[in-house]
Amino acid sequence: MRAVIVPSVRRALPVWIGAGIVGAVIFGGTGMAPRDLTQLALRTPGLALGLGLAWLLLFVPVARLLVRDDETRFLRSLPFPQWAPRLIAAGALVALQVPWLILWLVGEGGFGGALALALTPIIAVLALVRGRPPRGVPVWRGPITALLGVYARALRRRARDALLRAAGLALVAGGAAGLFVRNNGLAPADASVLAASVIAVVLVPGWAGTLLPLCEVHGQARWLASSLGASDRMRVGVLGTAIGMVYVGAMVIAVAIAAVVVGELAVALVLVPVGVGTALGLALVVTRGVVWAEASVTPAAKVVLASMVASALAVVMLGWFGAVGVVALVTFGLAAVPVGGRESAELASVK
């Protein structure tokens, strides 16, 4: 049971945290009740589709561990019934969807629970789909593109589930930010600051999951990159670019959803630069954190911490300075990014 459940719970944890933050934003701050949301979803097919898609993106990566038996194949060699792990996995497949089930059970009772469970077979089928194994030799035109290609592959092969989760959370974060703004009736600049702050907080569990593979490849590729002539500055630049792509990508999804939910062009016009600028500033600050984490013995804890601190910093700066806080955040991020890194520190002692 431990072999089946523990890894899945570990993977589900960021989803629960993300859902918890969204729940606090939607149902705490605005006074909206779960029933209001579920009723709205039942009346609005677009919202229902969006919620369902978000949950698929969030939960399919968790379901992969339960539906495929890659991690538990060794259990077949043990002397107990072969159906036992499968039964436990099937139970976990339902039970680990706690936030989704609670929303629908509280909102619509037994009918809602049945509706929520209706997605489970689709989740199971999607979780069984395996991508084609990578093949072929890329053509890179220089050291920077080669290094960027390596980091992009780290994201695609090591952080695919985390990217899906980030996309799912981006949908939810955008929806939550949009609802929050709409219910507060603010001017465009204040509305954008509020929305960007909400998105920056809700997306922490989504972004954090993509950072550890990047942190690992940053360390693993060090000897190779150094011996091939890539300076630490180039490596940090490529790392920052990869992090920036993830942060801006998720932010763009969230901003697009928020703009649709708010439904005001004036807000959307301010929200786009504020959101994208916030994502860029966050990426710069987090790049510093990942470089710090790579040199430590507990990189996983440190990248999560870096992601949380960066988002907290963004909220503080946006709160203090309004939309101008984006400039302050980017400036702080640029100052924080190490331009020479460890290599320069070592070189300082060479005569």
146 part of the interface to another protein, by CB under 8 A = yes
349 part of the interface to another protein, by CB under 8 A = yes
137 part of the interface to another protein, by CB under 8 A = yes
Helix (H, G, I), strand (E, B) or coil at 165: helix
347 part of the interface to another protein, by CB under 8 A = yes
Binding to another protein by CB under 8 A, coded x per residue (else -) over 77-116, reads ----------------------------------------
Instruction: Return the residue of 54, 65, 147, 337 that touches another protein, per CB under 8 A.
Output: 147
Binding to another protein by CB under 8 A, coded x per residue (else -) over 226-265, reads xxxxxx----------------------------------
CA-to-CA distance for 274 and 306, rounded, in angstroms?
21
Least CB distance from residue 344 to another protein, whole Å? 9
Where are the alpha helices (H) located in the chain, listed in sequence order?
Answer: 2-23, 34-43, 45-67, 83-95, 98-117, 120-128, 143-158, 160-184, 188-202, 204-220, 222-227, 232-262, 265-294, 299-321, 325-336, 341-347
Residue whose pair of structure tokens reads 């039970």 in the numeric block: 95
The angle at the Cα of 43, spanning 37 to 44, to the nearest 5 degrees, equals 85
73 part of the interface to another protein, by CB under 8 A = no
Cβ atoms of 59 and 172 within 8 Å: the answer is: no
Q: Which CB, 2 or 141, lies closer to another protein?
A: 141
Q: Which CB, 119 or 147, lies closer to another protein?
A: 147
331 part of the interface to another protein, by CB under 8 A = no
217 part of the interface to another protein, by CB under 8 A = yes
> Judged by CB under 8 A, which stretch of 85-93, 201-209, 220-228, 284-292 contacts another protein?
220-228
128 token code pair: 């069984």
Which residues within the stretch 165-204 sit at the binding site for another protein (CB under 8 A)? none
154 part of the interface to another protein, by CB under 8 A = yes
Classify residue 19 by burial, with Cβ atoms within 10 Å: 0-12, 13-18, 19+.
buried
Which residues contact another protein (rule: CB under 8 A)? Answer: 133-143, 145-147, 149-150, 153-154, 157-158, 216-217, 220-231, 343, 346-347, 349-351
